[in-house]
């Protein structure tokens, strides 16, 4: 979905809706938008999928790419959870060894 951030979620802010995430198909559709309009795009918010990086690189040459907050928070949460679980099992191992 391509939207205008300034429209603040209103229907008129929707510029394009493209089904799927296949890079070739999406690039083909987005290149049908005039380059003068695509070059006005200043910032793209996207997930970390390689296909999305390729799409934005080929279609929005002037835009800065920004990873969306949800995916960054998920990465941080998953890393923290991994550390927490390792610490928990390590503490359990120490406790079990002391009991033995």
Q: How many domains does the chain have?
A: 2
| DSSP collapsed to 3 states, 1-46 | CEECHHHCCCHHHEEECCCCCCHHHHHHHHCCCCHHHHCCCCEEEE
Same domain? 98 vs 57: no
pTM of the model: 0.64
Residue 1 has pLDDT above 90, yes or no: no
- 85 pLDDT tier (thresholds 50, 70, 90): very high
Whether 3 and 39 share a structural domain: yes
- For 28-53, the pLDDT digits (tens) are 999 999 999 889 888 888 888 889 89
Tell me what the mean pLDDT of segment 58-80 comes to: 88
Containing structural domain, residue 72: 68-100
Specify whether 40 is located in the same domain as 84: no
Displacement of CA 94 from its chain's centroid (Å): 40
Using the predicted structure, report yes or no on whether residue 81 has a pLDDT greater than 90. Answer: yes
């Amino acid at each position: 979905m391509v939207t205008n951030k300034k429209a603040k979620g209103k229907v008129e802010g929707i510029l394009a809706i493209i089904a799927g995430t296949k890079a070739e198909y999406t690039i083909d559709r987005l290149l049908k938008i005039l380059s003068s309009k695509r070059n006005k795009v200043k910032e793209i918010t996207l997930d970390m999928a390689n296909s999305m990086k390729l799409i934005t690189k080929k279609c929005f040459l002037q835009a800065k790419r920004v990873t969306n907050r949800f995916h960054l928070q998920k990465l941080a949460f998953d890393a923290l959870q991994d550390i927490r679980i390792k610490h928990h099992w390590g503490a359990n191992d120490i406790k079990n060894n002391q009991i033995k």
